[in-house]
Amino acid sequence: MKTRKFVFVSLLLAAAMAVFAFVTDVRLPDGTLLPTHWNASGEADAFSPALHALLFPVGMVLFVTAVFWAIPRIEPLQEKLEQSAPILRATWTGMLAIALLIQFVIGAPAYGFEPPINLIGIGVGLLLILLGNALPKSRPGFFVGIRTPWAILDTDNWIATHRLGGKLMILAGVVIIAAALLPISPGLRAVLFVGSVLTAALLPFIYSWWLWQRKKSA
């Protein structure tokens, strides 16, 4: 899998975001604190000095870029990696978009705009839908997909597990977007957010084990 273009675009984005961070910081009064973390209800629950908060998404972009640059160089199952390129590209693109969204939400108040509190939740939901759509296209590997030991050793198990995982991830994304948009209590929104993510993460693992057990007993 070639990563040169993705790395170039990612570094260009990081540079633009860094410029935005410094320009925005100049507009703010000394000592301004900006949000750096939001709970499952979409409410800010942690704050940092303005420049630190604005540069945090830049760090996310650089970290994501380093990880996805490294994966093709350390994956031992190189022959399967190209088949998993769609999920790698989708994850990379989605994470960059989330970092950009986070910086927008953090920095927008400096320009007199208050983004909707549910914007982060909607972004996460869209990311899960994007990943869920790409997940079934992946093939066994040590750094991509739902890496259960039973799926890595059995291509049929991997395909079945990722088909289920993709559907559950899309469903989780839809639930999270709905929870972000509907006028429900923060507590219920948090339950739906966490519950849908845990379901999408755990059920494919259990299903992969069940497929292995069934094949072993046949």
Rounded Cα distance, 156 and 134, in Å: 17
Q: What is the average pLDDT across 162-182?
A: 95
What residue spans define the domains of the chain?
A: 4-217
Q: What is the average pLDDT across 46-50?
A: 90
Among 57-61, 72-76, 104-108, 135-139, which stretch is predicted with the lowest mean pLDDT?
Answer: 72-76
- For the cut 90, the answer to whether the pLDDT of residue 13 exceeds it is yes
Counting every residue written for the chain, the total comes to 218
Is residue 162 very low, low, confident or very high in pLDDT (cuts 50, 70, 90)? very high
CB 39 within 8 A of CB 189: no
Rounded Cα distance, 95 and 52, in Å: 19
Q: What is the pLDDT of residue 1?
A: 65
- For the cut 70, the answer to whether the pLDDT of residue 41 exceeds it is no
- Six-digit token pair at 39? 């709970």
User: What is the pTM (predicted TM-score) of this model?
Assistant: 0.84
Q: What is the pLDDT of residue 138?
A: 85
pLDDT tens digits, one per residue of 68-79 = 898 888 877 767
Rounded Cα distance, 69 and 161, in Å: 26
Among 14-18, 76-80, 132-136, 176-180, which stretch is predicted with the lowest mean pLDDT?
Answer: 76-80
- For the cut 70, the answer to whether the pLDDT of residue 169 exceeds it is yes
CA angle 155, 158, 162 (to 5 degrees): 145
- Listing DSSP states for the chain in one string gives ---HHHHHHHHHHHHHHHHHHHHHHHHSPTT-EEEEEE-TTS-EEEEEEHHHHHHHHHHHHHHHHHHHHHHHHH-S-HHHHGGGHHHHHHHHHHHHHHHHHHHHHHHGGGGT----TTHHHHHHHHHHHHHHHHGGG--S-SSSS---HHHHT-HHHHHHHHHHHHHHHHHHHHHHHHHHHS---HHHHHHHHHHHHHHHHHHHHHHHHHHHHHHHH-
- Six-digit token pair at 78? 């190189």
Q: What is the pLDDT of residue 173?
A: 97
CA angle 10, 12, 13 (to 5 degrees): 65
